[in-house]
Amino acid sequence: MAETAYFKKIVLTTELRLSNGKPIPWVPAGWNVGVLETSDALTISELSKYAEEQKGGVTIIDKATFDDLKKNSASKSPKQEWMPGVSTTVEQLQNPSPKTKSEKPSKSAAADKPAVAKTDKPATATGVFPPDK
């Protein structure tokens, strides 16, 4: 059996697969970061190659860093603050709410728009002047 190795991956939403097609089972550690503890020789070999080539956001970490990331994952908010309407909490990802049908706009939506005044003069953009005559 191979020695245990520890890895970290940033941008956990970008999936990596082994050469045999199996996905790598990252453990979420918060803020789109995942960690992995493995003794599988194929996984260690391929993830070490990714880390060496600086591909896939994979880095090799030590056991202390692995334990710290895993321990502190509960205190890191997985909610995306940059998109208030989008949440990536584990509960919502595992049990998504059923999609609701959005209401179609009424056919009279055009009648609800305010009237635009029409002029005979050409429109000019801000900061753009018409050519001199």
- Please report whether residue 20 resides in a domain: yes
Asked if residue 75 has pLDDT above 60, the reply is no
- Please report whether residue 22 resides in a domain: yes
pLDDT at residue 79, as a whole number: 47
- Please report whether residue 93 resides in a domain: no
Residue span of the structural domain in which 39 resides: 5-72
Task: For residues 85 and 79, give the distance between their C-alpha atoms in angstroms, rounded to a whole number.
Answer: 10
Q: What domain count does the chain have?
A: 1
Task: For residues 100 and 111, give the distance between their C-alpha atoms in angstroms, rounded to a whole number.
Answer: 27
pLDDT category at 81 given cuts 50, 70, 90 is very low
Task: Compute the Cα dihedral for 64, 74, 60, 47 and give only its sign.
Answer: positive
- Please report whether residue 132 resides in a domain: no
pLDDT at residue 80, as a whole number: 45
- Please report whether residue 77 resides in a domain: no
pLDDT tens readout for residues 18-44: 999 999 999 998 888 999 999 999 999
